[in-house]
């Protein structure tokens, strides 16, 4: 016979535990924290490493994590702690290490009651198991990573796709239920492992069909085909013209800012015309949009301005001798300032030809100014999940009332204490910056699916009105005394959860 202890980690009756342990197979317990139902021997953990068999009892292996406002409070909570002098508004019980409600017929592992600024509040704390989840990855780079909709792979398995590029950044959509459970077993496992690594702040090596090999890590610069990115572009070619036009006046006669999206030509551009600059007669290839703005001057790539251009002069279609003149000074530069070249027009048998020339100090300083105005290239990783299913049963017997209270703004949703962005419409679909959660906040189950902390905070009266499990509310003081939690401060930039 196998002992079956619920993953809610409720303490069993000692006599019943002793009898069950004596009868079971060498102290094996069955974990019900996910559908895998691992049978765990004494001193071992299940397949997810989140639950283990501790002296014949199923236990959550990671400590319950609380956020504190200040490092002084963290130092105060030591092993000798035996009271609750910490004000409720200065600590927040997260779901990291809390345990799950699965199977979701039972209340959440912790339903915390506390008075905050004179208001009785309840925080429902649970680790959710999410098959409907994924990551949105923003990669600051002008480099061409791959065609839109191209598959993204990890260890050869398709785990997502390239999605719509944003200003100065390439975007990936990774994971989702189709990759986690809709393909082969290996696809699901690799997808889950990659999502877990990225969500927990680790690096992941990805390849894009028809594109680049990239290394992605939240809060770190991307590595594209072995080269670590340094800068995010200051703007498109047109925007760069607008920013620096006045600084170029008098030291350059023409400036062409090479960009995969909008290449800018200074004297044609409205900024150059506003400054009264003389037209240069230099026309670039591509489709002209408005004056001084050109689309499709080249193909996407890893060279100048996110194009495949190695020789910048190759984008010059013609030079009109009626407008251009010998000695015309031409700067060609990328949107990050990483590529720049200086040319002077010379008369060659009646044709005006740009010839390379030493770059003047004033132009060198201006190119450096472009680089100075570029922000550091980073990878941003946002976890996105749908929590509108049976997870809600851990809070209330009437789940729709919880959802409605969330969309009315009456119930606050957090993930590991971090603020989330809630999508409008049906369900509880949210996104959160993974760098704002405590370290190691995400886990997995072998179904495969990710495990993520989620908290619902509301007034006690509202909790009762939506059919909440009022009988399972525990005072904060009791949880602090019995759970022996880990107390940490929020990660940099995350802020402290508001009451």
Q: Distance between CA atoms of 143 and 170, rounded to whole angstroms?
A: 8
Rounded average pLDDT per 10-residue block, the chain, 499 residues: 42 48 67 85 87 86 88 64 68 93 87 91 95 97 93 98 94 97 96 98 98 97 96 94 96 97 96 96 95 94 92 96 96 96 94 96 97 96 93 94 97 97 95 97 93 97 97 90 84 89
Question: Chain centroid to CA 143: how far?
Answer: 20
How far CA 24 is from CA of 17, 44, 49, in Å, comes to: 10, 15, 22
Residue 227: CB atoms within 10 Å: 12
**Sequence ranges of the domains in the chain:** 3-60, 84-131+382-488, 237-372
Kindly write down the DSSP assignment for every residue of 95-131, as one continuous string.
STTT-B-TTTTS--SEEEEEEETTEEEEEEEEEEEES
| Residue 301 structure tokens | 């790539």
CA distances from 496 to 73, 117, 416 (A): 13, 15, 11
Look at residues 389, 387, 409, 405 and name the one whose alpha carbon lies nearest to residue 466: 405
Strands (E), 306-448: 316-319, 329-334, 340-348, 351-356, 379-386, 412-415, 418-419, 421-422, 429-433, 443-445
Asked if 334 contacts 259 with a C-beta cutoff of 8 angstroms, the reply is: yes
Place of tokens 């909008």: 262
Residue in 132, 134, 138, 125 with CA at minimum distance from that of residue 199:
134
DSSP 217-234: -BTS--EETTEE--B--S
Q: How far apart are CA 289 and CA 449, in angstroms?
A: 47
If residue 57 lies in a helix (H) or strand (E), which one and from where to where? strand 57-60
* Prior bond of 103 cis (ω within 30°): yes
Residue 73's H or E segment, with its range, is helix 71-76
Distance CA 287, CA 219 (A): 37
Distance of CA 168 to the CA centre of its chain: 16
Lookup result for tokens 């049976």: 390
Contact at 8 Å (CB) between 464 and 470? yes
């Amino acid at each position: 016979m196998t002992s079956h202890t619920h993953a809610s980690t409720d303490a069993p009756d000692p006599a019943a535990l002793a009898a069950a342990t004596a009868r079971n197979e060498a102290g094996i317990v069955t974990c019900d924290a996910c559908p895998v139902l691992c049978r765990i021997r004494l001193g071992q953990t299940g397949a997810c490493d989140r639950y283990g068999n501790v002296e014949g009892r199923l236990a959550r292996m990671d400590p319950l994590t609380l956020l504190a406002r200040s490092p002084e409070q963290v130092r105060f909570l030591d092993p000798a702690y035996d009271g609750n002098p910490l004000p409720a508004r200065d600590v927040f019980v997260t779901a990291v290490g809390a345990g799950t409600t699965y199977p979701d017929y039972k209340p959440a592992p912790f339903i915390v009651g506390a008075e905050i600024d004179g208001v009785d509040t309840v925080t429902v704390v649970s680790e959710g198991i999410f098959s409907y989840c994924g990551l949105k990855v923003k990669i600051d780079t002008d480099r061409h990573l791959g065609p839109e909709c191209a598959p993204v792979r990890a260890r050869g398995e398709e785990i997502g796709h390239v999605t719509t590029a944003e200003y100065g950044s390439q975007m990936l959509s990774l994971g989702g239920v189709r990759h986690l459970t809709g393909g082969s077993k290996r696809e699901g496992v690799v997808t889950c492992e990659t999502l877990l690594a990225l969500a927990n702040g680790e690096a992941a090596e990805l390849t894009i069909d028809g594109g680049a090999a990239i290394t992605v890590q939240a809060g770190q610069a991307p590595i594209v085909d072995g080269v670590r990115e340094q800068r995010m572009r200051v703007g498109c070619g047109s925007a760069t013209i607008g920013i620096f036009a006045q600084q170029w006046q008098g030291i350059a006669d023409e400036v062409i800012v090479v960009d995969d999206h909008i290449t800018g030509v200074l004297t044609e551009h409205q900024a150059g015309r506003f400054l009264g600059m003389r037209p240069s007669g230099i026309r670039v290839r591509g489709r002209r949009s408005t004056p001084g703005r050109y689309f499709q001057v080249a193909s996407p790539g890893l060279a100048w301005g996110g194009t495949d251009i190695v020789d910048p002069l190759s984008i010059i279609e013609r030079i009109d001798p009626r407008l251009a003149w010998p000695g015309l000074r031409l700067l060609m530069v990328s949107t990050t300032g990483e590529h720049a070249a200086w040319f002077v027009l010379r008369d060659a048998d009646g044709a005006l030809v740009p010839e390379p020339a030493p770059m003047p100090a004033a132009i060198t300083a201006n190119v450096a100014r472009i680089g100075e105005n570029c922000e550091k290239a980073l990878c941003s990783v946002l976890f996105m999940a749908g929590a509108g299913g049976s997870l809600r049963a851990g809070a209330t017997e009437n789940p729709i009332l919880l959802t409605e209270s969330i969309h009315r703004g009456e119930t606050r949703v957090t993930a590991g204490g971090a603020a989330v962005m809630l999508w409008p419409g049906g369900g509880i679909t949210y996104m959160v910056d993974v760098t704002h959660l405590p370290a190691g906040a995400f886990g997995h189950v072998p179904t495969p699916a990710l495990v993520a902390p989620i908290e619902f905070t509301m007034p006690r009266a509202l909790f009762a009105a939506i059919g909440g499990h009022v009988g399972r509310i525990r005072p904060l003081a009791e949880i602090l005394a019995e759970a022996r939690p880990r107390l940490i401060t929020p990660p940099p930039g995350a802020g402290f959860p508001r009451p």
